Amino acid sequence: MLNQRTPSIIAILLVFLSLLLVYRCGTPTFMGSFSWAIVPLNIYQWKGIWLGAFVHGSWDHLWGNLIALAIFSALFLIQFPTQWVRFWLLQHLIASALLWCLGDVGMDASRIGSSHIGASIWVYAFGGFILTVGVMQRTKQSMAIFFLVLLIYGGFFWGLLPVDPKVSWQGHVSGLVTGVLIALWKANQWLPPQELLSESDADEEPNEDAEWEDPYENL
């Protein structure tokens, strides 16, 4: 039942992220009072570890992530039609915790303790998973999706570099690493059962129409 409602769950999540930004824009104290941002290694704002990915700083920030997340979710469902919810929950927990541990990496002393927000951590987790599955399986379908991701998001890997100080490249790295690890761990288990194209001769049923031979006929 849950698997049949996966598209609805994705749509509700995307709408919720939009409504959250509307509420944040109308409530300037929202971020501070609820501590939703991921603040690396700060145990006093532990709630932000699990909530930071839901918050966005602007509409451009939000829509960029929503479009990418919708596309990657569709590509994910083509290969794993019953596993989206499991993957989303798993990657969210792991990637958020990883970002909380590594969020200050590469920053100078004046910026230590900065905050991280945005669903791009999910986008990179889905992207890392899909690309890794393509390398692992090398089927026509997985490779087609692999190259489609590279074609549509050719600049996907640029987000892993500390080019823009306003962009959380640590979040992108955390998401990508998480997606790769989950693919190595779970992808083969999550594949839908494949029908056998042919059976071995040993498994074939005997031909009832074949002429019966008397083993003692030539004695």
Does the pLDDT at position 30 exceed 80? no
Does the pLDDT at position 134 exceed 70? yes
Q: Which residues have CB under 8 Å from 77's CB, separation 6+? A: 6, 7, 84
Does the pLDDT at position 36 exceed 50? yes
Going from N- to C-terminal start, the domains of the chain cover 3-105+112-191
Does the pLDDT at position 41 exceed 60? yes
Q: Which pLDDT value is given to residue 195?
A: 35
pLDDT above 90: percentage of residues in the chain: 51
User: 35 or 46: whose pLDDT is higher?
Assistant: 46
- Which residue, among 68, 105, 98, has the nearest Cα to 176 in the 3D structure? 98
User: 95 or 153: whose pLDDT is higher?
Assistant: 95
Q: Which pLDDT value is given to residue 215?
A: 54
CA distance 178 to 71: 19
- DSSP H/E element including 48: helix 47-51
Does the pLDDT at position 72 exceed 60? yes
Q: Which pLDDT value is given to residue 201?
A: 43
Which of 6-15, 57-66, 117-126 is predicted most confidently? 117-126
Q: Which residues have CB under 8 Å from 93's CB, separation 6+? A: 50
Task: Please name the CATH architecture into which domain 3-105+112-191 falls.
Answer: Up-down Bundle (1.20)
Q: Which pLDDT value is given to residue 149?
A: 92
Rounded mean pLDDT of 5-28?
Answer: 84
